[in-house]
């Protein structure tokens, strides 16, 4: 199942190292809504973490290597 336009927008912001709170404030939605979108994306893609989600996004958008803050 493909990601929605909103989910792609959120994963792009995650890939730019934004926190849940920052994403919520940027998109004028609640933090819980951001987390729901993240959970839905992880389930759709069969992934287990935001790091994996960021790597997936980088692989399909040719953004070059992205290193998440917690992936050192």
The enclosing domain of 40 has a CATH number of 1.10.10.10
**Above 50 in pLDDT, residue 4?**
yes
In-domain check, residue 71: no
In-domain check, residue 29: yes
User: 16 lies in which domain range?
Assistant: 5-61
Question: pLDDT higher for 58 or 64?
Answer: 58
What pLDDT is recorded for position 1?
75
Cβ-Cβ contacts under 8 Å for 3 (sequence gap 6 or more): 11, 41, 44, 45
In-domain check, residue 67: no
In-domain check, residue 12: yes
What pLDDT is recorded for position 62?
67
Whole-structure pTM value: 0.82
Number of domains in the chain: 1
pLDDT band at 71 (very low <50, low <70, confident <90, very high): very low
What pLDDT is recorded for position 49?
96
Q: Each residue of 15-51: b (16+ CB within 10 Å) or e?
A: beebebeebbeeeeeeeebbeebbebbbeebebeebb
CA 15/CA 45 separation, integer angstroms: 16
């Amino acid at each position: 199942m493909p990601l929605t336009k909103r989910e792609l927008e959120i994963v792009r912001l995650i890939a730019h190292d934004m926190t849940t709170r920052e994403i919520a404030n940027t998109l004028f939605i609640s933090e819980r809504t951001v987390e729901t979108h993240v959970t839905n994306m992880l389930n759709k893609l069969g992934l287990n973490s935001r790091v994996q989600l960021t790597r997936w996004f980088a692989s399909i958008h040719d953004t070059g290597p992205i290193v998440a803050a917690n992936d050192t």
